Amino acid sequence: MPRSQAGGVVWRKSSYSLPTQSDCVEVARVGAVNAVRDSKDPEGAFLIVTRSAWSGLLSQIKQGAYDL
């Protein structure tokens, strides 16, 4: 998705993130997909993932599949 199409997107940081934390990702719903970006670089690149892929990743994280 070109950056020009991402204007007006509302980015959301996890409610578990503190305002002083700089190692966070932000997520936005963009049509039928989710966009993910590094909160330290809001003007940088972002990753587009399908909603089903995002849901699967969150499920795995909640199950402890990753050392986070």
- Transcribe the chain into DSSP letters: --GGGGTT---EE-TTS-TT--S-EEEEEETTEEEEEETT-TTS-EEEEEHHHHHHHHHHHHTT-S--
Rounded Cα gap, residues 38 and 19, in angstroms: 14
Tens digit of pLDDT for each residue in 6-57? 667 889 987 777 777 777 889 999 889 999 998 888 888 899 999 999 999 9
The pTM of this model reads 0.74
pLDDT at position 25 is 86
pLDDT category of residue 5 using cuts at 50, 70 and 90 = low
